A and B are shown apart, each in its own frame.
Chain A
Amino acid sequence: MMKKSHTLALFNDFEEAGQAIRDLKAVSLPGFRMEDVVIKSPIEHPELSEMLGDRPVYVQWFTLGGVLVGPLTGLILVASAQANFLLQIRGGRPVVPVPPDMVLTYEFFILSGVLMTVLGCFIGWKLPGRRSPLYNAKVSEDKIGLLIKADPLVIPKINEILARHKPIEIMGEDRR
């Protein structure tokens, strides 16, 4: 299998980048898939991302896991500690009083939800990671980048398509 190569085109605005994506979708090149197109932008642009097709986000499943596991852990932790006390001088009150324990259970519910959400986010971000394969600092300022991974033989054709939409720069791996 041929090793894939990368190219990065920088555009002035979302419209130009959008048109380039539209053109890329219209062509059929061997060794190139739309799944390998990545938008890099200074702000989020959901409409542009939608053009790339469905790219599911799994953060909410982590949150669900967190909010289910958290309260159970909290309740078990508190109740088992209470049940474990050496002396149970409760004056007739229950050893594990449910209403007051709900407060800590609730806090564990939120805490676990938050921690798992952030964990899911970092997994989704694929971070921490190295900045690669091509990166241009202008992307964090005001330019829109299209990073494309394809067979090296197709890259010139892709660059040709990208060049039709007046990119301010096209970077190849040799110009990293």
Chain B
Amino acid sequence: MSHTVDLHTPEDKDIHIERKFVPKPLDIDREVSWAKINKDVLRSLERPRPMFWVIFVAALALFSFGVYCEIYQYQNGMGAADLNNPQVWGLYIATFIFWIGMGHSGTLLSALLHIIHADWRKPIYRYSEAMTTFSLLTAALFVLIHLGRIWEFYYVVAYPNERWVWPNFSSPLVWDATAIGTYLTSSLLFLYTGMVPDLAICRDNARGVRKKLYTFLSMGWQGTDRQWANFRVTYMTLACLLMPLAVSVHSIVSTDFAVSQNPGWHITSFPPYFVLGALYSGCAVIITLFIVLRYVFRFEEYMTMPILNKLIKMTFAIAMVWNYLNLIEYATVWYGDNEVAKAQFIYKITGTYAPVFWGMVLCSTVLPFALLIKFVRTHMPTLLVVSLLLNLGMWLERVQIITPTFAHSQYPWTWTANWFPSWVQWGIVAGSFGWFTMLFMLYCKIFPAISMYEVKEMVHDQSKMLKARGQ
């Protein structure tokens, strides 16, 4: 489509400027039939590429090693993890924040993009929400693991004191457990509610045990007009409730640090900094999983390059905001009058743990600029490596918040420059990655990772729009 604009110059010389409207690439092929969408997604539940089993077995091995380490720690005490005073949190809480952060963006982005009617979310939101659920489950494990005395976990739960437990309701740790519990429950319900129409499709096409499972979970869904109308209102309402909840959860996680007296943590900008960090790492994981699922389950037709491109742009924008808040955090310390915090900051960038800090800067601040290069955006193996490095950067960010602060706090007796996590800690952290990957891959094998009915809606709306434009 094009049109010509005539401009008249003072010399009465006509200039013809032809404006060409180049049609944007569609997010998804509008010719794809609804029956094919069902067929392709249902096929993914039965015959994934062999890479699926490679990933699953590797994840299972990592998880088994993690379980071994946890049993070892349980039998030998927290000394086996080299956790001591002042290094009481170690990698456990750093990884806990990492998983919470990762869980942040799946549901939050899905809800946000649903509210603003961003159609391109439709093929990718289901697995992002599943990612949230499994990340939260993984994060919750670290609350138990780092306690040492696992049987006393109920002190972190907002539990009435009828049994004389007397939890401290003014403690961020209690807020944290409540917020995570709320977020997990809500995310799970959001995921499940959105999946019911697809479970009915699975029910109608499955046999044997699977049919029984899907029949039970779809609860008799028939796709009636009344059911769809209720569904639309429910889904939008849940999205609206989940948005502020997701922000509150990571803000509360940040108060674990921000309301303490440790130098460098007592900063007003910590909550937004944590929320953005969570979104950033979550987006990076969504890109990683996009590439993996696209290949493993042959979703090339649905997880398309235009959608990936939008995802990358959003990740880049979030990375830039995160960088800004990171800078604000350091500037607040640098220009503030807290000499201990300043000394701690200098230690962080020049001391024993400086490689962690600079590793974070390299992976999370510098590397996102690689996303501006077209080759990086379009070459899947390169993009996979970049997305994994972004994740590594965000994990290092959490480590550099905790370890150097404990190692160089208010009192000289806390200065423990040579502290390094034991193999038990590394094993449990690695095991958590195995646990998450295993659960996620199992989920994608049992439940549709792409929302079939929403992709159908997308194709339907796209065709209607193009027909209206006469294309």
- Check B220 against A128 for contact (C-beta < 8 Å): yes
- Check A44 against B228 for contact (C-beta < 8 Å): yes
Q: Which of B186, B220, B229 contacts A114 (CB 8 A)?
A: B186
Q: Which of B169, B178, B231, B238 contacts A44 (CB 8 A)?
A: B231
- Given known contacts A85-B166, A127-B220, is B453 in contact with A43 (CB within 8 Å)? yes
- Check B223 against A59 for contact (C-beta < 8 Å): no
Interfacial residues of chain A within 34-81, with CB under 8 A of chain B in the complex? 38-46, 48-49, 52, 55, 57, 59-60, 63, 77-78, 80-81
- Given known contacts A44-B232, A59-B234, A111-B186, is B219 in contact with A129 (CB within 8 Å)? yes
Q: State in angstroms the CA–CA spacing of A43 and B34 once bound together.
A: 10
Q: Determine chain A's interface SS by DSSP, over half rule.
A: helix
Interfacial residues of chain B within 207-235, with CB under 8 A of chain A in the complex? 219-234
Q: Which of A114, A121, A122, A139 contacts B222 (CB 8 A)?
A: A139
B193 at interface by CB-CB < 8 Å: yes
Q: State in angstroms the CA–CA spacing of A108 and B190 once bound together.
A: 17
Q: How many A-B residue pairs have CB under 8 A?
A: 172
Q: State in angstroms the CA–CA spacing of A126 and B226 once bound together.
A: 9
- Check B204 against A110 for contact (C-beta < 8 Å): no
Give the residue name and chain of the B residue nearest to A50 (CB). Answer: B225
- Check A43 against B460 for contact (C-beta < 8 Å): yes
- Given known contacts A80-B160, A110-B245, A117-B234, is B229 in contact with A42 (CB within 8 Å)? no
Residues on B with beta carbons closer than 8 Å to the beta carbon of A147: 224
Q: State in angstroms the CA–CA spacing of A23 and B211 once bound together.
A: 38
- Check A137 against B205 for contact (C-beta < 8 Å): yes
B328 at interface by CB-CB < 8 Å: no
Give the shortest distance, in Å, between A18 (CB) and chain B (any CB). Answer: 12
| In the complex, per-residue mask of B29-40: 1 if CB is within 8 Å of any chain A CB, else 0 | 000011100100
- Check B200 against A140 for contact (C-beta < 8 Å): yes
- Given known contacts A80-B160, A107-B178, A107-B182, is B456 in contact with A43 (CB within 8 Å)? yes
Give the shortest distance, in Å, between A36 (CB) and chain B (any CB). Answer: 12
- Check A127 against B245 for contact (C-beta < 8 Å): no
Residues on A with beta carbons closer than 8 Å to the beta carbon of B197: 42, 140
- Check B35 against A82 for contact (C-beta < 8 Å): no
- Check B164 against A86 for contact (C-beta < 8 Å): yes
Residues on A with beta carbons closer than 8 Å to the beta carbon of B189: 114-115, 118
- Given known contacts A48-B225, A101-B169, A125-B221, is B38 in contact with A141 (CB within 8 Å)? yes
Residues on B with beta carbons closer than 8 Å to the beta carbon of A57: 229-230, 233
**Count the B residues whose beta carbon is within 8 Å of the partner chain — how many?**
54
Q: Which of B201, B205, B223, B241 contacts A41 (CB 8 A)?
A: B223
| In the complex, per-residue mask of A93-115: 1 if CB is within 8 Å of any chain B CB, else 0 | 00001001101101110110111
Q: Which of B161, B229, B248 contacts A81 (CB 8 A)?
A: B161
Give the residue name and chain of the A residue nearest to B246 (CB). Answer: A110
B258 at interface by CB-CB < 8 Å: no
Give the shortest distance, in Å, between A8 (CB) and chain B (any CB). Answer: 11
Give the residue name and chain of the A residue nearest to B159 (CB). Answer: A81
Give the residue name and chain of the B residue nearest to A87 (CB). Answer: B166
Q: State in angstroms the CA–CA spacing of A125 and B197 once bound together.
A: 12
- Check B231 against A39 for contact (C-beta < 8 Å): no
Question: Can you list 7 contacts pairing A with B, beta carbon distance less than 8 Å?
Answer: A42-B456, A43-B453, A46-B232, A111-B182, A125-B221, A129-B219, A139-B223
The 4 A-B pairs of least Cβ separation, nearest first, read A124-B230, A142-B34, A137-B204, A121-B234
**Which residues of A are interface residues toward B (Cβ below 8 A)?**
38-46, 48-49, 52, 55, 57, 59-60, 63, 77-78, 80-82, 84-86, 97, 100-101, 103-104, 106-108, 110-111, 113-115, 117-118, 120-122, 124-131, 135, 137, 139-142, 147
6 extra interface residue pairs, beta carbon distance < 8 Å, beyond A42-B197, A49-B225: A44-B232, A114-B241, A115-B185, A128-B220, A135-B222, A137-B204
